[in-house]
């Protein structure tokens, strides 16, 4: 149609009638399409939620997907509070005093501890301060509303940690108890791990030391400064997982631990491969703040490995900002002494070859194949039990297919393979998952009963050769 004819037709009465008759069906069609698209998007969203995060989780495993939280107490149970019996109070006071002085632990070398000596407390001073705080708890002046359910309970362990931090000043310790209650009212349980933190490879918890304390390995070479929120949440979720482990252990123990009464951990800072680009003063100050206010006296000792001249210079500057007790907890270990030091700290079967052991090697983040590679065996087990493994994380080792399992065995040492065929294995995958790891929840594939505890003879034969 030519332009002139179109203008004549558009101005005619026939065109106006057609336009009016088309307007109502077009509006109706637009409304129908809008409703259809809205319904479709709602169903898509519901499907994603069903696949990624269960719509209705048991309260003990409930965690939100963004900035989520998880319950630190054992699933379906109240965490057992520990109140030291009168007949054990002499022993408990002595142990807390040694922890305060940093004389209880595993030491190495001539300079076994760093920093000046801590003064001893007067006899019965701790006992009297603890009883004062107990009375405040009994009278309702101190209370953790979610203690024992969403997080650790208010008991002698929690009170002792804060009495050490306050140097037996009862009012200061009571204020720290209230601060923690406010902190947990904001987190509503533990801080759920993010995928970005897990994939960073900065922190791993692969094993325990000879005193039963979890070993937290920090690898500064994988830290990238500039995202303090990621670091803070990563630090919190790691320490919360340690609390969850301790609360789980209480169920098995008959009473308070004789070697680790305050449920502390040992930290290993491995500066191998670290450079000035990994230095982050903001993260350092964040660590000091969290340890002082939210997680007091959880760290028992700090082994600083592969200390070079540059690290010594940096550490000298950083130690001036530390509390004298923290300085005393730090042991600087030169590269030549790493294996001897770590052999005293842990059983060689639990140590990676990098530290002179016969266990599994520490894997770089980009080479990780399992969740255990990403965060260590103990942390992976904890996250799995709590149901807070984020979407996108590597699968648990027992979830790998047989072909993938064989491929993942390549990095294992012959001595590790010997342990794979022992009674400690629970699955036919490379077998480095000890009994006690709870089967995965929800849609995670569970190994068949016939395959549990089994490992291919061919795999064992290959590695023994």
The answer to which of 103-107, 146-150, 173-177, 448-452 has the lowest mean pLDDT is 448-452
Residue 195 is predicted with a pLDDT of 95
Distance, CA of 111 to CA of 390 (rounded, Å): 42
Residue among 205, 215, 209, 207 nearest 344 (CA): 209
Q: What is the pLDDT of residues 68-102, one digit of tens each?
A: 568 898 877 888 899 999 999 999 999 999 999 99
Mean pLDDT score, 372-380: 95
Residue 82 is predicted with a pLDDT of 94
Distance, CA of 263 to CA of 77 (rounded, Å): 19
Give this prediction's pTM.
0.71
Distance, CA of 212 to CA of 204 (rounded, Å): 16
SS3 state at 376: coil
> What band does 279 get if pLDDT is binned at 50, 70 and 90?
confident
Mean pLDDT score, 215-219: 96
Mean pLDDT score, 286-298: 93
Q: Are 142 and 177 in contact (CB under 8 A)?
A: yes
Contacts of 75 (CB under 8 A, 6+ apart): 58, 60, 61, 385, 386
Residue 231 is predicted with a pLDDT of 95
Q: What is the pLDDT of residues 352-367, one digit of tens each?
A: 999 999 988 999 999 9
pLDDT at 381 over 70: yes
Residue 48 is predicted with a pLDDT of 39
Q: Are 339 and 355 in contact (CB under 8 A)?
A: yes
Range list of H helices, 118-274? 125-138, 156-165, 170-187, 195-200, 228-252
Q: What is the pLDDT of residues 415-441, one digit of tens each?
A: 444 433 333 333 333 332 333 333 333
Distance, CA of 296 to CA of 160 (rounded, Å): 10
Mean pLDDT score, 321-333: 83
Determine the distance from the C-alpha atom of residue 18 to the mean position of all C-alpha atoms in its chain, rounded to a whole number: 69
Residue 413 is predicted with a pLDDT of 43
424 versus 126: the higher-pLDDT residue is: 126
The dihedral built from the CA positions of residue 117, 122, 124 and 127, taken in this order, carries a sign that is negative
What size, in residues, is the chain?
465
pLDDT at 344 over 90: yes
Neighbours of 98 (CB within 10 A): 14
Residue 434's Cβ-count burial label (10 Å; 0-12, 13-18, 19+) is: middle
> What band does 320 get if pLDDT is binned at 50, 70 and 90?
confident
Q: Are 133 and 170 in contact (CB under 8 A)?
A: yes
Residue 455 is predicted with a pLDDT of 43
Contacts of 315-324 with C-beta under 8 Å, sequence gap 24+, read 318/284, 319/114, 319/115, 321/284, 321/285, 321/288, 322/288, 323/292, 324/115, 324/116, 324/118
Mean pLDDT score, 317-344: 86
């Amino acid at each position: 149609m030519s332009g002139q004819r179109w203008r004549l037709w558009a101005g005619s009465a026939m065109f106006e009638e057609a336009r009016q008759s088309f307007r109502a069906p077009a509006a109706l069609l637009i409304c129908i399409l809008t409703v259809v698209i809205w319904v479709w998007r709602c169903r898509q969203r519901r499907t994603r939620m069903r696949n990624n995060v269960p719509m209705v989780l048991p309260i003990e495993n409930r965690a939100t997907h963004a900035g989520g939280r998880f319950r630190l107490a054992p699933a379906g149970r109240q965490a057992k509070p520990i109140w030291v019996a009168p007949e054990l109070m002499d022993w408990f006071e002595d142990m807390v005093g040694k922890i305060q002085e940093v004389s209880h632990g595993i030491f190495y070398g001539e300079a076994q501890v760093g920093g000046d000596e801590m003064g001893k407390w007067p006899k019965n001073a701790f006992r009297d301060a603890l009883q004062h705080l107990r009375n405040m708890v009994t009278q309702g002046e101190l209370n953790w509303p979610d203690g024992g359910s969403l997080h650790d309970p208010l008991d002698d362990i929690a009170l002792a940690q804060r009495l050490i931090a306050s140097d037996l000043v009862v009012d200061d310790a009571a204020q720290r108890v209230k601060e923690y209650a406010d902190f947990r009212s904001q987190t509503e349980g533990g801080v759920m791990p993010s995928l970005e933190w897990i994939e960073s490879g900065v922190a791993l918890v692969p094993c325990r030391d000879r005193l039963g304390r979890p070993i937290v390995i920090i690898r500064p070479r994988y830290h990238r400064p500039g995202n303090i929120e990621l670091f803070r949440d990563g630090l919190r979720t790691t320490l919360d997982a340690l609390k969850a482990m301790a609360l789980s252990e209480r169920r098995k123990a008959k009473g308070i631990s004789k070697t680790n009464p305050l449920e502390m951990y040992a930290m290993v800072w491995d500066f191998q491969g670290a450079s000035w680009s990994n230095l982050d003063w903001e993260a350092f100050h964040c660590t000091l703040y969290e340890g002082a206010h939210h997680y007091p006296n959880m760290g028992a000792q700090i082994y600083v490995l592969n200390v070079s001249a540059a690290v010594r210079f940096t550490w000298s500057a950083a130690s001036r900002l530390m509390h004298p007790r923290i300085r005393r907890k730090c042991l600087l270990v030169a590269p030549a002494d790493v294996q001897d030091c770590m052999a005293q700290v842990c059983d060689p079967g639990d140590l990676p070859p990098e530290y002179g052991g016969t266990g599994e090697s520490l894997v770089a983040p980009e080479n990780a194949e399992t969740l255990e590679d990403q965060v260590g065996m103990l942390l992976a087990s904890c996250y799995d039990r709590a149901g807070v493994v984020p979407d996108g994380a590597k699968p648990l080792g027992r979830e790998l297919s047989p072909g993938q399992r064989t491929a993942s065995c390549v990095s294992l040492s012959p001595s590790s393979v010997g342990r794979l065929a022992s009674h400690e294995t629970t699955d036919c995958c490379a077998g480095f998952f000890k009994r006690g790891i709870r089967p995965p929840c929800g849609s995670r594939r569970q190994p068949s009963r016939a395959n549990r505890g089994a490992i291919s003879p061919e795999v064992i034969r290959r590695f023994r050769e």
